[in-house]
Each structure stands twice: as structure tokens, then as C-alpha cells.
């Protein structure tokens, strides 16, 4: 099969003709330090940041798709940058093609876009160079495996889930100097976005050093297959959230007619938090993955263990499959 056919095949695999699913056993969990590539149908590495001091929000995602009908793994990547001062949203994609993924240290490349770890240690800084992004991400905590170690269920497919929840960010975006904090995720398994599952995801850097992750996996009919949350303490210890509820609030309909919930109440045995999108117009329509999703910055306020709490982060809401006209 000639390589020039790969972009066409990849588009089919990610829209209506999903990769052949392999068995993923959620009881055999990986190590928290397992950042390398895997032989599963779906895998991605993801970095995001809300930089209120610079008036910016951004994310980068590198997807790696494997299918026995295609001779090599397919790489697809996204970069989105929102200038909160001007309201301009820039969304860039690299079409399906070849690339590299190696570990340790972590090295990912698709075309000129790269994520390169500067050493084999799990907390070695990472250099992200992708389109307008030229950033150094230095872990402030060690990697964690988010309890229970995966997202999804038997009927939606499962993605193992590990990452680094707080990294110091410094560098430039479109040549403009920036600094702040970032979040890094890595997931892999047999769940196919838009084909077997949808989700609502929240990452929050709380004042005082705690990090909160909430993940609500939905079936295509809208029913909730899984709701999980994790807290990463200032010293890096991770634990599951108990008694978690995610209550939808304010809804917004995009110009394309898709509805997204942009206001939420997250409640557990220890916190009661209100989540609000900073900006509504954050829908992204990906031609490379054929997925419509909302991705943008959030502000979080409320109570935690009886004391006022405040934080900032990013939210991702996956609407489903999208067919470009």
C-alpha cells in the first residue's frame, strides 16, 4: 500500500470505519511513568494551559492510530490557541501521516511539530514546538495514574490514563513571551472518540497546589458510562474522589447547531465547586479526526473541606462525529 493512501484511510478509520478493537484489560494497569507508545488502536498525548496573565489559552494533541489494514501507525495532531484579549481562536491541524514516537526519553514527531523530553527521568523538562508554540514544560509534580487507572467501560472501550497534572510553562506563543502552568495527559487503549464514546473532561489547578481531574464518559446515546475524579495533592500523591457528582448547568448552542454545557457544578464528599467557561465560542471542528468538540479555559470557585476554593483550568466536551462539507 502506497503511503499517499494513508491520509484517506486514516480519515475513514476515524469517521464511520473505526479501527479493529483489541482487548484491553483494565485490571492490568500500566506504570504511572509509562509515557511511551503502545500497540493499541488509539493513543494520544495532550498538553493544555490557561494563561490568564497573558490572556491566552492553548492545547496541543498528538494522536497515534494503529490498524492492521494500514502498514504503519498514523499520526494526527492539533494545536489551538485562543487570544482572550482579541477573541481570536486559531485552530491548526496536521493531516494523517507518518511520524515517530520513542521512549525513554519521550520523543514525538509529526512533520515539524515535536515534543522532546530533555532526559530519561520522568520529571525531565519537555520541549514542545508545534506551529505557534515554542514552550518548555517543566514538571512540578511526578507522573500519576489517575484512579482507577483508565477511562471508559466495557461497552465504550477503555483508555489507560496517566499524566503530569502540573508543569511550569515558559516560552513563546506566536513569538509572544508567556509563562504559567500546564497540564499533560497520555491515554491509550481501544476506545474510539466519536464512535464508541463521548466525554466531558475537566482539569483544574487549584490555589494552594491541589490539582483536580473530573472525567465523565458518555455513550453515543448520551447515557453516562463512567464518572471518575482524582485529586493530586501538592506533594504529588494521587487519590480518587469519593461521592462525585457532575451536575450540568448553562448550555450553549454553537453556530453549527451543537449543544455544549458550559456551566457545571462538581460535588463530592469534600468539595462543592462551580465551573464556568471563560469564553463560549470555543467549538473546534476537526477535519483530520472528523470530530466536533469544545475546548477552552474555565474558572472554578466554591468550597473545599469547608474553606473557600478557587482555581483555573481547561474543559473538553466531545460532541461527536462531524462530516466536513
pTM of the model: 0.93
Handedness of CA 267, 268, 272, 274 (dihedral sign): negative
Say how far apart CA 80 and CA 131 lie, in whole Å.
10
- C-alpha grid cell, residue 54: 497573558
Burial-class residue 155 by CB neighbours within 10 Å (0-12, 13-18, 19+).
exposed
Beta bridge partner(s), residue 139 = 167
Say how far apart CA 266 and CA 300 lie, in whole Å.
10
Strand-pair category, 144-153 with 133-139: unpaired
Say how far apart CA 325 and CA 312 lie, in whole Å.
36
Residue 157 Cα distances to 108, 145, 193, 251, angstroms: 25, 18, 10, 27
Handedness of CA 29, 34, 40, 44 (dihedral sign): positive
**pLDDT per position as a tens digit, 118-153:** 999 999 999 999 999 999 999 999 999 999 999 999
Say how far apart CA 302 and CA 214 lie, in whole Å.
16
Report the run of H or E that residue 101 belongs to, with start and end.
strand 100-102
- C-alpha grid cell, residue 298: 474555565
- pLDDT confidence of residue 2: 36
Say how far apart CA 165 and CA 142 lie, in whole Å.
8
- Nearest partner of 294 among 306, 286, 284, 302, judged by Cα: 284
The topology under which CATH files domain 3-17+34-321 is: AttH-like fold (2.40.370)
Mean of the per-residue pLDDT values of the chain: 93
**pLDDT per position as a tens digit, 218-231:** 999 999 999 999 99
- pLDDT confidence of residue 68: 76
Ranges of the chain with pLDDT below 70: 1-21
Say how far apart CA 167 and CA 164 lie, in whole Å.
7
Q: Chain centroid to CA 208: how far?
A: 23
3-class secondary structure per residue, 198-266 = EEEEEEEEECCCCEEEEEEEECCCCCEEEEEEEEECCCCCEEECCCCEEEECCEEECCCCCEEECEEEE
User: Are 55 and 179 within 8 A, CB to CB?
Assistant: no
Say how far apart CA 290 and CA 321 lie, in whole Å.
6
- pLDDT confidence of residue 15: 45
Residue 221 makes CB contacts below 8 A (sequence gap 6+) with: none
Say how far apart CA 9 and CA 1 lie, in whole Å.
11
Say how far apart CA 46 and CA 56 lie, in whole Å.
17
Residue in this structure with the C-alpha cell 481547561, named with its chain if needed: 314
Residue 58 makes CB contacts below 8 A (sequence gap 6+) with: 48, 49, 51, 79, 80, 81, 82, 133, 173
Say how far apart CA 170 and CA 181 lie, in whole Å.
8
Amino acid at each position: 500500500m502506497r503511503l499517499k493512501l494513508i491520509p484517506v484511510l486514516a480519515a475513514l478509520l476515524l469517521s464511520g470505519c473505526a479501527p479493529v478493537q483489541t482487548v484491553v484489560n483494565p485490571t492490568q494497569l500500566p506504570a504511572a511513568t509509562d509515557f511511551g507508545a503502545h500497540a493499541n488502536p488509539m493513543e494520544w498525548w495532550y498538553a493544555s494551559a490557561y494563561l490568564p496573565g497573558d490572556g491566552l489559552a492553548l492545547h496541543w494533541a498528538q494522536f497515534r492510530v494503529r490498524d492492521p489494514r494500514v502498514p504503519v501507525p498514523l499520526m494526527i495532531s492539533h494545536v489551538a490557541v485562543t487570544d482572550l484579549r482579541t477573541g481570536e481562536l486559531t485552530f491548526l491541524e496536521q493531516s494523517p501521516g507518518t511520524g515517530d514516537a520513542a521512549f525513554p526519553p519521550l520523543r514525538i514527531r509529526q512533520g515539524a511539530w515535536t515534543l522532546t523530553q530533555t532526559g530519561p527521568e520522568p520529571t525531565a523538562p519537555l520541549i514542545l514546538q508545534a506551529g505557534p508554540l515554542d514552550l518548555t514544560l517543566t514538571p512540578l509534580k511526578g507522573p500519576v495514574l489517575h484512579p482507577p487507572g483508565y477511562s471508559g467501560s466495557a461497552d465504550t472501550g477503555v483508555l489507560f490514563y496517566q499524566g503530569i497534572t502540573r508543569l511550569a510553562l515558559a516560552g513563546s506563543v506566536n513569538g509572544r513571551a508567556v509563562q504559567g502552568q500546564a497540564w499533560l495527559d497520555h491515554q491509550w487503549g481501544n476506545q474510539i472518540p466519536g464512535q464508541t464514546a463521548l466525554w466531558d473532561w475537566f482539569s483544574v489547578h487549584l490555589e494552594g497546589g491541589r490539582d483536580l481531574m473530573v472525567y465523565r464518559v458518555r455513550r453515543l446515546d448520551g447515557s453516562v458510562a463512567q464518572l471518575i475524579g482524582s485529586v493530586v495533592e501538592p506533594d504529588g500523591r494521587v487519590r480518587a474522589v469519593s461521592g462525585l457528582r457532575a451536575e450540568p448547568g448553562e448550555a450553549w448552542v454553537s453556530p453549527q447547531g451543537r449543544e455544549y454545557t458550559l456551566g457545571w457544578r462538581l460535588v463530592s464528599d469534600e468539595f462543592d465547586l462551580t465551573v464556568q467557561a471563560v469564553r463560549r465560542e470555543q467549538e473546534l471542528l476537526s477535519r483530520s479526526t472528523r470530530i466536533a468538540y469544545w475546548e477552552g479555559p474555565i474558572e472554578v470557585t466554591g468550597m473545599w473541606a469547608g474553606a473557600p476554593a478557587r482555581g483555573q483550568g481547561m474543559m473538553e466536551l466531545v460532541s461527536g462525529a462531524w462530516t466536513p462539507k
